[in-house]
Structure 1
Amino acid sequence: MKKDYKNILIIKMSSLGDIIHALPSLYVLRKAYPKSRITWAVHPSFAGILPGKPWIDEIYLVDRKRIRQLSYLREVHHDLKARHFDLVIDLQMIAKSGIISFLSGCSERIGYQDGREGSFLASRPISGPHKKGHIIEQLLDVMRYLGCDVSEIEFPIHDYKKELSQVKDLLQKEGIVGPYVVLVPGTRGEQKKWPLSYWGELASSLSERGIYNVISGTAGEMDMGNRIKDMSPSPCTVNLMGRTNLLQLAALERLASLHISSDTGPLHIANAVHTPLIALFGPTLPDRSGPYGNPDSYVIMADHPGTKECRMDTIPVEKVLKKALDILESDIEDHHGTYYQPEQPVD
């Protein structure tokens, strides 16, 4: 019989892609416990993507810079214990999430099966039928254990209607007057990066065909965007590096006709908003962390995937371009019905 939990803490503090992967678990948990209070512990830099009510009642911010300070840990313990959680779900299962789980003071603490860095000492790992499957399903196995119905894969993110309008205005100012492709060259880990020269060649090839392409990423990646723009000086290539927050990024992806990137957080945002996408994989394998639940996702693999010999430069630009043109030709006319089209063309 399913227990009637009243006050639940979810711990998933980082990173962007990992948090997106946990959202289907939030979806089924809320469906199973519609009257429970749900709190989500997260680092401030990723809090903006999390939904508010009815999905989450409170977002608890954990300062990653202070997490090793004893005085801060006492503060966290006081804060969390005062909330009287009757269930803690650690969907991260590493040392820092284990610390937060323990400091909650809750007697029932569970987590997903991959308990690393001693986190299994704080939260009981839950194994299920997808122990070796996609990370989304591994996390959902915890929800299955709790008796949740896992018949749907949904990604409840924060409402971004306001950001849709902001992004439309931004695109108009940049001269984008029709369907566009989002290019995200950055990712954590040099080994996962597709060569910058390949991105420049892809942007240039799209521009030569009159296809708008938007380079997206963080302010810290601005140099990459500038270098790609140098390789593709056409007005069809627009560099928006560092000019969108998380919700504006979600809006940018939602309005796009296609997303192209390697294994990175924005890929999973594009997947969550059901934008057609091309994912470039190599050192990491899509079977565990690739796009999931999106019928319009396509994965292109580097040679020797999942090994030390894998090199992303073995994915040729021509292969990515061909797949992009195939997707655009078949889908660009009716994708979402929401891509940016200004009332009057921009000169």
Structure 2
Amino acid sequence: MNHTRPAGALASSPLSLEDIGDCILFARPRLLGDIVFTLPALELFARHFPRVKVAYLTEPPFVDLVRIFPHVHEVLVMDRRPGPVSLAAFRRRIRHLGCRVAVDFHSGPHSALLTRISGVPHRIGYRSRNRNWAYTRLTARHPHRAPRHSVANQVRLLEHLGIPHRPIPAYPRIPMKKQSGRNRIAFDPHRVVVHVGAGNRFRIWNESHFHALVKGLVDKGLHVALTGHSPAERTTAAGLAARYPLDDLTGKLSMPSTIYLVAASGLYIGADSGPLHLASLTETPLVALYGPSLPAVSGPWRNRNVTILQTQLPCRPCSQRRCRYDTIRCMQEITPHDVLQAAYQYIS
């Protein structure tokens, strides 16, 4: 029996197990933190449909990460600007897997097009002004004015599968692959992992603040490991490594290796960015710096051993396109002293 509705229709009754079939497609092409935020939805789906295989569509930079996600049976990779050959191969692969439902956690232009091209009969996404044509079932992205965490927002998409969106589970345990030789990361309770950057300039801490922070940690006899990937982060790390005894690991770690490093350390310090959410997959204490964004929307999805530092400026949250103060006050007014005092709660 065909229960497919016209594109953009609001469906009142959930899909049946017959509708779902043997395989489901989840899509979240990017970004790092947003991909991590889909993990509770994957966990919730696996609890309700343990025999249904999960295919996960993402972009090349995140493949190694998604491959270690629990409950994911196959990772599908698509470039941001795929050609006709890649799109045709993608559609054939979806047909071979037998996916009958697609859940687009992003619902942006790129993922909406891929979801529609997949040929899957039941396509779930967020209601928008100009992409409802890609989906057969829609969910309002912001049903209430109060801030809603991204994890909660993504879990709501599963209501179309008959899965209640509450309670929302914690992150599932990430399997830690046993490492050996050069790749082995030894456990060090006195190691502090510091991410020396952020996803955009509106979340970046002042470089002089990083110097004061690292000096304070080193003076306490703690071991500092710097992480990051971008050219700007590597430059900042090089300047710190020239002045203080530390491990500069910027540009040297994969996403899974970053998780292993944090799990083997005593503390993680960083701004709201993808690496912070990788760190939140561990049990290691976190000190998180929040400027233009709100923890209620994008904070670490865990409560234990998390300290969030933020200012109370009236301009927060903002669009992160321009700053009325030009100096990104919401980040720069978080002082090294504040961060060090938070760090000393967890490590000494």
> Does structure 1 residue 146 correspond to structure 2 residue 161?
yes
Q: Please, what is the CA RMSD of the aligned residues? A: 2.5
- Which residue identity does 1:107 align to in structure 2? P
Question: How far apart are residue 83 of structure 1 and its match?
Answer: 3.3
Structure 1: 4+ residue segments shifted above 6 A:
none
Counterpart contact for 1:130–1:138, Cα < 8 Å: no
Question: How far apart are residue 273 of structure 1 and its match?
Answer: 1.4
Counterpart contact for 2:255–2:278, Cα < 8 Å: no
User: How do 1:13-92 and structure 2 match up within 5 A?
Assistant: 13-51=29-67, 55-64=71-80, 66-67=81-82, 69-92=83-106
Deviations 1:101-159 (A, max 9, x none): 0011112111245x47x333212332489754100011111224422354352334753
- Which residue identity does 1:187 align to in structure 2? A
1:270 matched residue in structure 2 = 279
Question: How far apart are residue 323 of structure 1 and its match?
Answer: 1.0
Give the TM-score of the pair, scaled to structure 2: 0.83
Question: How far apart are residue 100 of structure 1 and its match?
Answer: 0.9
How far apart, CA to CA, are the structure 2 residues paired with 1:154 and 1:136? 10
Identity %, equivalent residues: 24
Question: How far apart are residue 322 of structure 1 and its match?
Answer: 0.8
Q: Give the SS at the match of 1:257.
A: strand
2:238 matched residue in structure 1 = 226
How far apart, CA to CA, are the structure 2 residues paired with 1:37 and 1:22? 16
- Which residue identity does 1:92 align to in structure 2? H
Aligned pair partner of 1:98 in 95, 106, 112:
112
Aligned pair in 2 of structure 1 residues 162, 142: CA closer, same or farther (>3 Å)?
same
How far apart, CA to CA, are the structure 1 residues paired with 2:69 and 2:104? 21
Aligned pair in 2 of structure 1 residues 167, 136: CA closer, same or farther (>3 Å)?
farther
Counterpart contact for 1:11–1:42, Cα < 8 Å: yes
User: How do 1:242-261 and structure 2 match up within 5 A?
Assistant: 242-261=251-270
Question: How far apart are residue 84 of structure 1 and its match?
Answer: 3.4
Question: How far apart are residue 15 of structure 1 and its match?
Answer: 1.2
Question: How far apart are residue 285 of structure 1 and its match?
Answer: 1.4
How far apart, CA to CA, are the structure 1 residues paired with 2:141 and 2:248? 44
- Which residue identity does 2:97 align to in structure 1? R
How far apart, CA to CA, are the structure 2 residues paired with 1:160 and 1:54? 11
How far apart, CA to CA, are the structure 2 residues paired with 1:289 and 1:17? 8
Aligned pair in 2 of structure 1 residues 121, 262: CA closer, same or farther (>3 Å)?
same
Deviations 1:1-44 (A, max 9, x none): 76102221000111111110001101111111111121000112
Counterpart contact for 2:70–2:174, Cα < 8 Å: no
Aligned pair in 2 of structure 1 residues 204, 327: CA closer, same or farther (>3 Å)?
same
Counterpart contact for 1:80–1:103, Cα < 8 Å: no
Which shifted more, 152-161 or 130-139?
Answer: 152-161
Aligned pair partner of 1:239 in 248, 263, 269:
248
> Does structure 1 residue 204 correspond to structure 2 residue 215?
yes
Q: How many residues end up aligned between the 2 structures?
A: 317
Uncovered stretches (5+) of structure 2, i.e. residues with no partner:
1-13
1:344 matched residue in structure 2 = none
Uncovered stretches (5+) of structure 1, i.e. residues with no partner:
330-347
Q: Which structure features the higher share of helix residues? A: 1
